[in-house]
Structure 1
Amino acid sequence: MDIFKELIKKLTPFLKSLGFSKKGNSFHLELDKNYGIINFQKSRESTEDVLKFTINFGIYSNVLGQSEYDYNNLSKPEIEQCQWNSRVGAFMPNSPDYWWIINFTDDLNTYTQDLVDNIQNIIIPEINKRLSDEGLINSWLNENNAGTTEIGRFKYLTTLLKIKGDFNTLNHIIETSMQQMKGKPNAKLAIEHLKEIDVTYQS
């Protein structure tokens, strides 16, 4: 028996009841061409008898995807293409990098309930908070977990703010971010990005 496949099989009806569709080891929830993605990642340390895995989840913005070079609106995005992503452990107490370990002889039903609880109590609320572009903007403005790199947050946030036409917030983000990045390699990348989205920055 493939423990990993069996586990995903057990979780599929629950996730489908929440509106997710299955693609491989991932589940997609669509809202206005944006996607919330839940991905089950099997560790390379897994064996036939012991499964080690974690859960990644993220948000893919169609608007941001169109501005990226590998844009393809004909297929559902992968977790790696999400502009915001995290592991479930980042939202657990003390923010551990949490992995489940299941032995071949264990009762899968026990683990299934634990996973359902974590998906319901942690992952779904965090996805729902960010599934719209407005939610992503609010998250990048107010949340500590950026779900991306410093320069990634700057690029995504400024792009969305410009499209939204919120130039007061856009200018504030540019000023504060450029001060923080002053003298760092990211400063040059930030200036190049602002040129790409046709935003003037006076240093």
Structure 2
Amino acid sequence: MIDEFDVQAQFTRLLSGKLWPEFKKRGYKRYRGNFRYYDAAGWGKIVNVQKSAFSTKDNISFTINMGLYLREAERYLMGRASEDKFLEPDCLVRKRIDSLAGNDLDLWYNLDGQTVWSDVDAVVTQDVYRVVLPYLDGIRSVEDILHQLVQERGPDVFAGIRALFIYGRKAEARQWLADERNSTVYTYRKKQLQELSRELNAME
């Protein structure tokens, strides 16, 4: 029986008993608060349950991050390839649950001594089933991740453009670069984009 006032036990129960089984069925591997899927073709997807740095044993605040990983993009951009050990910061596409849920504010869940456990359990589980799983279930290949990158154009513009280019989506990379150059009024930004253009030309 879970002690309703044992906040850490509630958090562990949520991860291990409610969230993890659904990801395990889909072939994910678990590393602490990370549920990771990696395909030998060089792509992956991950869910990271992130505790706030201000959490204590009696008060836990947490959110849910997602990432889409491309091995060759990481190899080019970072000079390494984490492969089946990648984490959410290694991902080319990174999202937080609030952005998927259409929430303009950061979405954090809270567990403390006054929490009604069943309420938090219901809300988190509903959000994962409603937005997280459908989003990740739709990613089944490198091409799916590149498509998502083109759709979202972020969060790192320069990394995204480079990734598209090295994966052979050169026209889309150049169009994105041109759109960035046309939309900025900042000289330093235009200079950075011009340097990126020269880098892409050198890769031809």
TM-score range (shorter-chain normalised) is 0.7 to 0.9
Q: Does 1:133 align with 2:131?
A: no
Q: Deviations over 1:29-49 (max 9, x none)?
A: 123321111001111232222
TM-score, L = length of structure 1? 0.78
- Which residue of the other structure, out of 82, 86, 100, is the alignment partner of 2:109? 100
Q: Which residue of 2 aligns with 1:9?
A: 16
Q: Which residue of 1 aligns with 2:158?
A: 151
49-58 vs 63-72, which moves further: 63-72
Aligned 1:33-182 pairs, distance under 5 A: 33-73=42-82, 75-104=84-113, 106=115, 108-130=117-139, 132-143=141-152, 146-157=153-164, 159-160=165-166, 163-164=167-168, 166-181=169-184
Q: Deviations over 1:54-113 (max 9, x none)?
A: 001111111211212241346511111111111101122443211011124645454334
Contact 2:42 2:83 in 1 (8 A): no
2: CA distance, partners of 1:113 / 1:30: 29
| Cα distance change on mapping 1:169 and 1:112 into 2, 3 Å | same
131-140 vs 119-128, which moves further: 131-140
Contact 1:7 1:108 in 2 (8 A): no
| Structure 1: stretches of 5+ with no match in the other structure | none
Same amino acid, percent of matched pairs:
18
Contact 1:154 1:177 in 2 (8 A): no
1:135 positional shift: 2.2
- Which residue of the other structure, out of 188, 195, 199, is the alignment partner of 1:185? 188
2: CA distance, partners of 1:133 / 1:147: 17
| Cα distance change on mapping 1:43 and 1:35 into 2, 3 Å | same
The amino acid that maps onto 2:29 is S
99-108 vs 84-93, which moves further: 99-108
1: CA distance, partners of 2:38 / 2:170: 28
1: CA distance, partners of 2:112 / 2:55: 10
- The count of aligned residue pairs is 195
Contact 2:46 2:68 in 1 (8 A): yes
Paired residue secondary structure (1:59): strand
Q: Which residue of 1 aligns with 2:3?
A: none
- Which residue of the other structure, out of 32, 38, 42, is the alignment partner of 1:30? 38
Q: Does 1:20 align with 2:28?
A: yes
60-69 vs 70-79, which moves further: 70-79
TM-score, L = length of structure 2? 0.78
2: CA distance, partners of 1:129 / 1:190: 32
| Structure 2: stretches of 5+ with no match in the other structure | 1-5
1:167 positional shift: 4.2
The amino acid that maps onto 1:149 is D
| Cα distance change on mapping 1:190 and 1:133 into 2, 3 Å | farther
1: CA distance, partners of 2:57 / 2:170: 55
